[in-house]
Structure 1
Amino acid sequence: VSWLAYKQLGNPMAPLVYGAQLGKIADMEERLLDSPAEHQVVVAYLRRAQDFEARLQDVEGALERERQKARERVRALRDQNADVGLIVSASRELVSLPRDAASARERWTREMRENYERARPLGGLPLHSQAFAGDPNGSPHERKEYELARRNFLALMFCLMVGTAGLPHLLTRYYTAPSVAAARTSVAWSLFFIALLYLSAPALAVLVKFEVMQNLVGSSFETLPNWLAQWARVDASLLSVEDVNGDGLVQFGEIRLGADLIMLATPELGGLPYVVSGLVAAGGLAAALSTADGLLLTISNALVRDLYYRGAPREASPEQRVILTKFTLLSVALAAAFVAALKPAEILPLVSASFSLAASAFVPVMVLGIFWRGTTRQGAVAGMLAGLGIAVYYMLSHVPVLRTWAGWLLADRLWFGIQPISAGVFGVPAGLIVAVVVSRITRPAPALPLVRSEM
């Protein structure tokens, strides 16, 4: 981010200077909205979306027609003694077709939605110069969209801020400090780097978008940089550039740059050598492993020490507890790896969900335990369970797979229009209220003073 800021503005302090690019991005967006080539891209994606929608009207018949068409193409290429690469490519297209009607319906529905989304001006992205999607002074639909976008933004910011305070691997870090003064210093440095990270995120968005609009849009497909093809081969769903309108030039709507790839592709996008992308990837992997390490240690220690050993006292030596902790750590790690291998969602919603869960489960009880002497053990446990339960319920209630067989148990619609990743907005107050109420109920009565009777 600092390199992009220095390259574009001559100042590496990205969070302080990136605002100068907002006006330039707004001017480029206005030109793109009036560009005939961009309108051709929108029409092309709209045709694709309508084609997928037509296929969904008769999935089995459409699937059979697609198979027949692919077979005829392979047969025609073989009859013409075409290049082997073309025949192999056509054969792969035939093999990649959905195996049955259910998988075809799922894939075509997803592709229909993606194409409808890209069949909007600027690839479906809102203008960068406006704070939220919609228009506060527009039609009723635009005003509602604006209000929901603003509400979800504030809810997500709340969950990120409060969730950061309750992340287990951050809380346990402070217990490793040798003194109170060292713990305060650790907290100060943690807040500094967390603030630096959060302030750099919007700067990254602006600088990357300016780089794409300035250097990629309008360039010829024959002169595309090598890094674009390399990353596209890694995963076409994360990065792809396709000449949809056939003019030989890259349009903004033809670029698909996934959020998961922005950090890895940014160094080469800014002209840095490939080795910097490797360093960024290594840093990301190190951060992920350190986070996972702290969380795994917290989970395994809590399960063994608090629940197994302290919850129900057992005769267990320190060596036995350490061995049991290691086996518990391995079990939790394998379970987490299994869930990650299923890829239930993209990484950003999952990370945001973890902040909501940490905020709902830990923060209310932590705050009450520090600032209110009336907090009882029963109130703390009830508050943690209530906050975590509300957050998990709201998240799971909008998972499509669960709604197919347990829809009657789940919420029908969004609460106040808040997205599931911001479930902490409901979990935090629920945990706080339940902890206070249960603590007041279970608080022991004050001991009555002894009164000496005089005869």
Structure 2
Amino acid sequence: WFKNWEKTGLLQFEDKNGDGRIQYVADEQKNEMVKVDRDIMVLANPEIAKLPDWVIALVAAGGLAAALSTAAGLLLAIASSISHDLLKGVFAPNISEKNELLASRITMSGAVIVAGYLGLHPPDFAAGTVAIAFGLAASSLFPALMMGIFSRRMNKAGAIAGMLAGLGVTLLYVFQHKGIMFIPGTSFLGGMEENWFFGISPNAFGAVGAVVNFAVAALVVRVTAAPPAHIQELVDHIRVPSANRKMALEAQG
């Protein structure tokens, strides 16, 4: 199995002491496993355990199916968000269905290109990349959703300002340590732990971005106009079902 994975370039070793054995230790001077891509472990484990070929094929097919299904769902979500929610809902309310479909396809093509680029230049191994993605979501979407549900005063300006601030802070920190758009050699501070803000790794900085998002949104909400009455009524309807709300109003009145 080792030789098979060596051919992919994802696994490499160097016999530094010439004893014909692989020394895999924590000491970098003695460690002979010069490259171990952690993303191969799931696919390599069946081969390491000397399981039958059909088991290895089944594991590979399962991983591929999971990746394709997730990617398809995300592509549809991205395309519909841009073409329907943003383009039709904000910038061009009178856009035709044909042009909306065209915008959706263009958006999907752009998303595929970006995903392909990140696949060729991954910011981290699989789990680290997922952590960054969740961090970006936490710093942008989560506070807006929470405040939109639990605050009747939350408005569009506060949500937009908070999302931009949280996302901007998180991306700035990530790019400082992992490179601009994850391009090797473009990082300002590198991946060294001594440069981390209060010891927080770039993969986990989304929590700080979320705090910034909450703070900025709360400040902007205080200095901008309140949302319309029907929006506040909608928030109340989301928080309290109609029957319970009626009982609560009767109890108050």
How far, CA to CA, are the matches of 1:405 and 1:267 in structure 2? 38
Equivalent residues in 2 for 1:191-230 (5 A)? 227-230=1-4
How far, CA to CA, are the matches of 1:435 and 1:352 in structure 2? 24
C-alpha contact (below 8 Å) 2:158/2:217 kept by paired residues? yes
1:232 equivalent to 2:6? Answer yes
| Per-residue deviation, residues 186-234 of structure 1 (Å, max 9, x unmatched) | xxxxxxxxxxxxxxxxxxxxxxxxxxxxxxxxxxxxxxxxx22222222
* 1:430 Cα deviation after fit: 0.6
Q: Structure 1: which 5+ runs fail to align?
A: 1-226, 448-455
How far, CA to CA, are the matches of 2:116 and 2:21 in structure 1? 42
Match of 1:321 among 82, 96, 100: 100
* 1:405 Cα deviation after fit: 7.6
* 1:428 Cα deviation after fit: 1.0
CA pair 427-442 structure 1, distance change in 2 beyond 3 A = same
Match of 1:273 in 2: 52
C-alpha contact (below 8 Å) 1:383/1:431 kept by paired residues? yes
Equivalent residues in 2 for 1:115-130 (5 A)? none
| Per-residue deviation, residues 67-106 of structure 1 (Å, max 9, x unmatched) | xxxxxxxxxxxxxxxxxxxxxxxxxxxxxxxxxxxxxxxx
Secondary structure of the 2:203 match is helix
* 1:363 Cα deviation after fit: 0.9
Equivalent residues in 2 for 1:134-213 (5 A)? none
How far, CA to CA, are the matches of 1:404 and 1:250 in structure 2? 31
C-alpha contact (below 8 Å) 2:135/2:205 kept by paired residues? yes
How far, CA to CA, are the matches of 2:227 and 2:174 in structure 1? 39
Match of 2:162 in 1: 383
How far, CA to CA, are the matches of 2:109 and 2:126 in structure 1? 23
CA pair 405-244 structure 1, distance change in 2 beyond 3 A = closer
How far, CA to CA, are the matches of 1:261 and 1:385 in structure 2? 36
Equivalent residues in 2 for 1:228-267 (5 A)? 228-235=2-9, 238-253=10-25, 254-255=32-33, 257-267=36-46
1:444 equivalent to 2:226? Answer yes
* 1:338 Cα deviation after fit: 3.1
CA pair 430-244 structure 1, distance change in 2 beyond 3 A = same
Match of 2:129 in 1: 350
CA pair 446-357 structure 1, distance change in 2 beyond 3 A = closer
**C-alpha RMSD of matched pairs (Å):** 3.1
Question: What amino acid maps onto 2:72 in structure 1?
Answer: D
C-alpha contact (below 8 Å) 1:232/1:240 kept by paired residues? yes
Match of 1:421 among 177, 181, 203: 203
How far, CA to CA, are the matches of 2:221 and 2:86 in structure 1? 22
C-alpha contact (below 8 Å) 1:365/1:383 kept by paired residues? yes
Q: Structure 2: which 5+ runs fail to align?
A: 26-31, 230-253
* 1:407 Cα deviation after fit: 5.3
CA pair 331-251 structure 1, distance change in 2 beyond 3 A = closer
Match of 1:6 in 2: none
How far, CA to CA, are the matches of 2:23 and 2:2 in structure 1? 15
Question: What amino acid maps onto 2:201 in structure 1?
Answer: Q
- The total of aligned residue pairs comes to 216
How far, CA to CA, are the matches of 2:136 and 2:49 in structure 1? 36
CA pair 239-299 structure 1, distance change in 2 beyond 3 A = same
Share of identical aligned residues, percent?
A: 38
Question: What amino acid maps onto 2:17 in structure 1?
Answer: N
Give the TM-score of the pair, scaled to structure 1: 0.43
Match of 1:431 in 2: 213
| Per-residue deviation, residues 157-208 of structure 1 (Å, max 9, x unmatched) | xxxxxxxxxxxxxxxxxxxxxxxxxxxxxxxxxxxxxxxxxxxxxxxxxxxx
